[in-house]
Amino acid sequence: MNFLDIGNTRIKIKTWSGNSWQEMYNAPTEHATEAGNWIRQQGKETVGISVVPDATDAINAALGESKVLKWFTIADLPEKSVDYESKDTLGMDRYMACLGARTMADKPVIVIDAGTACTIDYMDDRGVYRGGVIMPGMALWEKALQQYAPNLPKVVRDIPMKWPGKNTEDSVRWGLSGAFISAVDGLVRRYDYVAALYVTGGDGDWLAKRIERRAVVNSNLVFYGMKKLVEARLWFG
C-alpha cells in the first residue's frame, strides 16, 4: 500500500517496506496532475491526505474512474478522538502527525510541524487530539520581511551570539530567527510539560537544534499516523 501526503509545497508518496519508509514519489504540489497519473499507472492501493484542495481536485481528475486512492476525512477518525470545535476544517496532516507520534510515545505528545505553515499540536495520553496552533513558518517570516521591507539586508538563518543586536544584520536575525524560535518556545510551554515533543517538516532539523526543549525529529510522523489508522480500520479489506 502507498501513502500520499499533499502539503503546501510538496507531494510525497511513501510505502512501508519491512521496517522503514521508502519514498516512491516526491514533486512540487503544482505537479498534482502528474502525481495523479503516476498513482493511476502504478495501480497500487493508496490512502492519502491533502491540505491543498486544488491539488486534490487535480489528482482526482487524473485518476478518472480508478478506485485505487482513498482520501482520509474527518469521518474516518475514531469516534471522540478529536476535541476540536471546527472539525470540518481540521487539517488531516495535523491529526495524523500527532497520531504518528503517539505510536512512538506512551504519553501525551506535542508535535511541531515546521513547514510552510508551522503547527504546534497536542494529543493526550488517551489518543485524543486536543487542538493547537497555526502560525507562519520560518520561510514566510523571511519572505514577508523581504517583501515589505526590501531595503533590509538578507541574513543567515540563525540567532546571533550577542543580545541585543549591535548591527542591522544581527538585529534582523533576532527579529526573524530569534523571534520565531522564541514564539515556538513560548507556545510549547503552554502545553503539558511531561508530554513528549516531536518535530517534523522541512525546517524540523533546524528548529529542533535551537528550541529550548529536547525534541525527537521524525520526518515520517504523518505517514506513521496514516499507517496506524489503516491498520485500525482495515481499509481495502
Distance CA 55, CA 75 (A): 21
DSSP-derived letter for residue 150 is T
- What are the E-state strand segments in 18-97? 20-28, 46-50, 69-71
Distance CA 44, CA 65 (A): 14
* Residue 93 designated active-site: yes
Given the residues 5, 57, 93, 158, the one annotated as active site:
93
Angle at 123 between CA 120 and CA 127, to 5 degrees: 155
- The values of phi and psi at residue 177, to 5°, are -60, -45
Active site residues: 93
